[in-house]
């Protein structure tokens, strides 16, 4: 008789635990939906900063250009494209806020497919330019990736893609 009681008690506990699981899952799904709604309402998820309607993120880890692009893609974006002077200055402020200096970093520009045919890795049109004097110069025929904050003028340079630098990623708002 004791065995039967224990077995019935275990079955009851299991039934109650299993019945409670969908309710907990629903609460968790509701909280996730609420969190996603908050992200959409305010713009960018944690670690990203809203600048002129897009979300930007400074990545301190020095990577080669292609590695930096893949890293941005893994976070749902691309290396940053820049479309105006105001946007460029805002990205510079983001870098200074994160590392307290005007670090030279990778942007998403490249001309690896055709020399002087600059493209953004996110597919946006390449219309704004902020090249340093004499740039892009494709030194030794091997500079195909765009870097910003070059020299004291803090302008653009084409550089060797295999150098390791921090980067800035961009993605659209939710």
Q: DSSP states of 20-50 as a string? A: HHHHHHHHHHHHHHHHHHHHHHH-S-TT-EE
Strands, E assignment, 45-154: 49-51, 54-63, 78-79, 105-110, 119-120, 143-150
Supply the DSSP symbol for 126.
-
Same domain, 92 and 136: yes
- Looking at the structure, do residues 97 and 166 belong to the same domain, yes or no? yes
**41-76: pLDDT as tens digits:** 468 999 999 999 999 999 999 999 999 999 999 999
CA–CA distance, 172 with 79 (Å, rounded to integer): 12
> Do 30 and 55 fall into the same domain?
no
Judgement on whether residues 106 and 159 belong to the same structural domain of the protein = yes
Residues 91 and 30 reside in one and the same domain: no
- Partners of 51 in beta bridges: 54
127 and 76 in one domain?
yes
Peptide bond before residue 5 is cis, with ω within 30 degrees of 0? no
CA–CA–CA angle 111, 63, 69 (5° rounding):
50
Q: What is the pLDDT of residue 80?
A: 97
- Round to whole Å and give the CA distance between 155 and 51: 19
- The pLDDT of residue 162 is above 90: yes
**Could you read off the pLDDT of 108-120 as tens digits, one per residue?**
999 988 889 999 9
**CATH number where 108 lies:** 3.10.100.10
Do 29 and 89 lie in one domain? The reply is no
Same domain, 56 and 96: yes
**Last residue in a domain, options 42, 57, 75:** 42
Instruction: Please indicate, yes or no, whether residues 33 and 61 belong to a single structural domain of this protein.
Output: no
- The answer to whether 49 and 55 have CB atoms below 8 angstroms apart is yes
Q: What is the pTM of this model?
A: 0.74
Q: Structural domain tally of the chain?
A: 2
Query: Domain range for residue 21?
Result: 1-42
């Amino acid at each position: 008789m004791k065995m039967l009681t224990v077995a019935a008690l275990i079955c009851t506990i299991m039934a109650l635990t299993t019945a409670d699981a969908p309710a907990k899952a629903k609460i968790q799904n509701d909280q996730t939906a609420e969190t996603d709604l908050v992200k959409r309402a305010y713009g960018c998820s944690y670690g990203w900063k809203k600048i002129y309607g897009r979300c930007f993120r400074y990545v301190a880890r020095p990577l080669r250009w292609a590695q930096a692009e893949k890293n941005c893609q893994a976070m749902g974006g691309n290396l940053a494209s820049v479309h105006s002077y105001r946007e460029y200055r805002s990205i510079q402020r983001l870098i200074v806020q994160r590392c307290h200096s005007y670090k030279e970093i990778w942007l998403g520009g490249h001309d690896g497919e055709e020399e002087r045919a600059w493209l953004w890795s996110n597919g946006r049109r390449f219309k704004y330019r902020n090249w340093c004097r004499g740039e892009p110069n494709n030194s030794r025929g091997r500079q195909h990736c765009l870097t910003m904050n070059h020299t004291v003028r803090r302008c653009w340079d084409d550089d060797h893609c295999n150098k390791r630098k921090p980067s800035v990623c961009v993605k659209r708002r939710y």
